[in-house]
Amino acid sequence: MFKRLLMLSDTGSKNLNQAIIACIISNLTLMLPFVILLQIIVLLISPLTANVTLNVGYLWAMGGVGILSAWLFLICYKREYKKTYESAYSEAANTRIEVAERLRKLPLSFFNRKDLSELTANIMGDCTTIETMMSHVVPQIIGYSCSSIIACGLMALYDWRMACAIFSTLPIALLIAIVGKQIEKHWAEKHVQAKLAVSDQVQEYLDGIKIVKAFGLSGEKFKTLDKTLKNMMWAAIKFEGIGGIFVTLSVMVLQVGLGIVVLVGVKLMIAGSLLPIDFLAFVIISSRIYGPLISVLTLLPELFYMLVSIERMKNLQTEPIMEGREDVVFDDLTINIDHINFSYNQTPVICDLSCVISPNKMTALVGPSGSGKSTLLQLIARFWDVNSGEIRLGGHDIKQIDPETLMRSMAFVFQNVVLFDDTILNNIRIGRYDATDEEVKLAAKKARCEELIARLPDGWNTLIGENGSKLSGGERQRISIARALLKNAPIILLDEATASQDPENEVYIQQAIAELVKNKTVIVIAHRLKTIIAADQIIVLDKGTIVEQGDYQQLMANHGLFAKLYSLQKQSFSVTR
């Protein structure tokens, strides 16, 4: 049950069951001192009530048993800690890895629908919720409940009337907690959504901090962030306040049971069916039973709140991942695109597009903004799956190929480079993790990175900051090309790698790309048409379909869209000069 409810692994479910048993045992051992205390009280008052001599030896024996019970409790608590906290932390760590692995296998369409803050909450916040539930909530709720029931059951063997008095108010207290759950669930979801909205706005605020400072939008002037922070504050107040009302009310009702125990006990003593010492025993033990039950009622709202996060994790697990064969061998690198169609959120982007991309040739994709160039490139790399039609590599439909297997044959150089806050060496090694330092440095040399590395304070071991913040755009691009060179894949996909570069960096990048594309199948998106004049094939896209196709000379002779775009760029370049 717990495996499905809390999304646990087999090991995690087994550890949780063991943690619950350990919690029950430690709670039962914690009741032993109360039993020993009761025995000592009986022993001390017996000379007064039964006119007998105080048995000092038995008193010392009870003291020894008390020390032994304390030692037993420490052993049980140590075992409970190991079974709950250590296993919970291990399960949370494994869950984070599993979530990250699943995210890696999801199509880009999923990430278009999800915010970064929500995905971060999945990996960090929701996994922490599982950790907290396994360590601080579920074992305690079940352990406290079971130990209290066991203790009360043993007392019922002695006097069932007093045992019933102890639990007389528990059904009403639980009913209040269950009714509160339905109301709290609504406000818990509101609170979770408010926190996600704040994460979104904080991310946007930090990403746009230059604009914020330039236009004096800090503090309350950044109204959207200010509003979402206030919304989260009120959502938290409402959730905590409403939950607190039901918890307090249920605890108050439960504690009325102690008064009922006293009233029933007094009535039974007056009737002569209960001895005073037995009455005292029930009062002492019942006070110990109510402590764990109060903890259960206090933890229930926390459990209900955490189940909202668990539900979001379950939704992530139901997202279909991209799968396929891993044993595919490409004897031929011809890419056949056969009548494909693709839409973003019901908006058509690629419409009945067909073409052939020959191996060991350069194919350029050109066209107006929004014509589908980047989408087509990413469909070839299977970042998305086409809605209909087929893209075949070497005769294999890429929808039937595992994405990682497919990408081993491709290297992608993006226009917007993503680097990690790590060393230059490790950022390039992403291209191939098993590469030696010498191979990494050779790739960097071919990508014209040696000059920039020589200027860095720690050379190859320089930390380049978040997303390469210590490097210029052109320098980041050269690092990206070095990755592709190190990967040495037979198919190269270039998404306008030279866009918006200064003249010096553009020269370096052009030289690096020249090294990259030697003897490779190259597909390049080009906005600056003069850079693809030497392409073997130029495919001109407009509104998601091919309107022209051929080499530079053929397209210029056609006087079609390519010739028009080339002429406009030439005129624009002349004006800017």
Residue that the structure tokens 């030439």 belong to:
570
Q: How many helices (H) and strands (E) does the chain have?
A: 22, 10
List pLDDT tens digits, range 241-264.
Answer: 877 888 888 888 888 888 888 898
pLDDT of 3 > 70? The answer is no
Coil vs helix vs strand at 318: coil
Cβ atoms within 10 Å of 47's Cβ, excluding its own: 12
Contact 76, 25 (CB under 8 A): yes
List pLDDT tens digits, range 462-497.
Answer: 888 877 778 887 888 888 888 888 888 899 888 865
H/E stretch holding 523: strand 521-525
| Percentage of the chain lying above the pLDDT 70 cut | 91
Which is nearest to 323 in space by CA: 378, 404, 410, 380?
A: 404
Residue that the structure tokens 């002429």 belong to:
567
Average per-residue pLDDT in the chain?
81
List pLDDT tens digits, range 129-168.
Answer: 777 777 778 888 888 888 888 878 877 877 888 888 888 8
What's the pLDDT score for residue 497?
A: 59
393 vs 3: which has the higher pLDDT = 393
State the average pLDDT over residues 216-236: 75
Check residue 459 and give left, alpha or beta (phi > 0: left; psi -120 to 50: alpha).
left
List pLDDT tens digits, range 545-557.
Answer: 999 999 989 999 9
Q: Can you tell me the distance from the alpha carbon of 239 to that of 388, in angstroms, rounded to the nearest whole number? A: 47
State the average pLDDT over residues 431-460: 87
What's the pLDDT score for residue 498?
A: 58
Coil vs helix vs strand at 448: coil
The count of residues in the chain is 577
Residue that the structure tokens 């669930």 belong to:
185
Cβ atoms within 10 Å of 30's Cβ, excluding its own: 19
Predicted model pTM: 0.69
CATH number belonging to the domain at 335-576, selected among 3.40.50.300, 3.30.420.270, 3.30.350.10, 2.10.10.90: 3.40.50.300
Which is nearest to 512 in space by CA: 436, 452, 459?
A: 452
Contact 59, 43 (CB under 8 A): yes
CATH topology of domain 2-317: ABC transporter transmembrane region fold (1.20.1560)
Long-range contacts, stretch 56-64, CB < 8 angstroms, 24+ apart: 62/36
Locate CATH 3.40.50.300 in the chain. 335-576
Locate CATH 1.20.1560.10 in the chain. 2-317
State the average pLDDT over residues 375-399: 90
List pLDDT tens digits, range 11-66.
Answer: 777 877 888 888 888 877 877 777 777 777 777 777 766 666 777 777 788 778 87
List pLDDT tens digits, range 25-37.
Answer: 887 787 777 777 7
Q: Can you tell me the distance from the alpha carbon of 403 to that of 171, in angstroms, rounded to the nearest whole number? A: 55
CA of residue 419 relative to chain centroid, distance: 21
Q: Residue 575 — very low, low, confident or very high, per pLDDT cuts 50/70/90?
A: very low
State the average pLDDT over residues 278-297: 81
Which is nearest to 319 in space by CA: 104, 110, 108, 114?
A: 110
What's the pLDDT score for residue 577?
A: 47
What's the pLDDT score for residue 499?
A: 54
DSSP state of 545: E
